[in-house]
Structures are given as C-alpha cells and as structure tokens.
Chains A and B, each alone.
Chain A
C-alpha cells in the first residue's frame, strides 16, 4: 500500500521554466490537495479537488495550475517558475467527508523545489 506518492523529491529550476509535480494516491480518496511549506509560514493551501474533474483554488493559487482527470492523480503545474516558488510542496488526500465531518489528511513525502 503506497499511500500518497510524490515525484520528483527534489527539483532545481531556472526562472521561467515550467514543471509538473506529480501526485498519485492508491487509496481511492476523492479529496486531494496541494500545500506549500515555507519557513515561518506553516503549510498553505494552493489548490484542491473533491473529485475527478473538479478543482478549486486555495489560499495561494497564483502561478500554479492543477487538473484532476482521474481519482488517483492530481498533478501541480508551475507554468513559469519564479524564485518565490522555492518551497517544499506536499500533496495530501483524504477519505470522502460526510457533511462537515473531516478525517485526517494523508500526506506524501514532499517535493523540494528550488527556483534560481
């Protein structure tokens, strides 16, 4: 049982380059999300999805695109990388919710991105 798998684990980009961070889960979770973690700022929500074909913006969506064509995959695309996007990115998934009932998030191991 792999859980949430993120690739790559490390990536260095030059300003202006594009890149897709991959996220896959094998738990049949409908909800998936992307967070970024920066020193002193905790984890901030970038985008999320409540099911295949449905995505929405979180707190800090600018500069990122997502799509959800399957339940398993939720890639995060950086269209034109900027130094401000240097961060550690975490993908997470969760079982379906019932009303406001919310279970815990299952996180991937993170992708450390550096933009020069």
Chain B
C-alpha cells in the first residue's frame, strides 16, 4: 500500500536560515511519481515539483532544491536562505499507478514558519 510520511509537523526557522523538509514514502510499485505542493496561508495548493521513480537526479530551482533517494525512499525538500514568504504548509505526495487514474496520496504536511 502507498504511504507518505512527513514526520515534521511544524518547523520554525529564522529568516535566511536553510531548512529541509523530510518526506519518506512506501510503495510496492516500480514506477511512480512524487510531488511537492505548497499551501500558503491563503489556502490554495501550489504545485512545486514532480519527479518520476527513474530519475534520481537532484533538482534545483532558485532557492528550492529536492533530493530524491530511492535507497532510503526519501524525497526531501530544502529551502535555502528562507524568506517570510516561504511560510506555508508543504505537502509531499505519491502517485499510485492505476489505469487512467494514478491517484495522488498525500502526507500530513509540514507547517513551516519563517520568523523575520
């Protein structure tokens, strides 16, 4: 069965500090996709990244970077030089391969607070 664990419920950092959000997943599928979404205080869900199970290259996008390691079933998200605008709830999600559906299953989220 699919499962996504985000063990960090809440994290607080001071502005300009680096912070890593952990995501550990469980799946028996050999092909799957992993996602990160951001939910700012306004409530909408914003897509950040998608990664497939065959691509273990780390990705960097500005201050954001992602570390995918199949050996440890982890897909961690690092924010460098955090800013107040990074304050949000961050969700990691895993797809379940299923004809036409490929539903996403989400972790419980990590609330990040960046203190100015």
Q: Provide the main secondary structure of the chain B interface.
A: loop
Q: A42-B91, A88-B43, A102-B33 are in contact. Are A97 and B50 (CB under 8 A)?
A: no
> Which residues of A are in contact with B by a Cβ distance under 8 Å?
30-31, 33, 35, 40-45, 48, 50-51, 56, 58-59, 88, 90, 92, 96-97, 99-107, 109-110
Inter-chain contact A31/B100, CB cutoff 8 Å? yes
CB-CB under 8 A from A31, the residues of chain B are 100-101
Contact with A along B90-112 (1 / 0, CB 8 A): 01010101001111111111000
- Inter-chain CA distance A73–B105, complex, in Å, is 22
Inter-chain contact A104/B101, CB cutoff 8 Å? no
Inter-chain contact A90/B105, CB cutoff 8 Å? no
Instruction: Considering the complex, give the chain A residue whose CB is closest to the CB of B35.
Output: A104
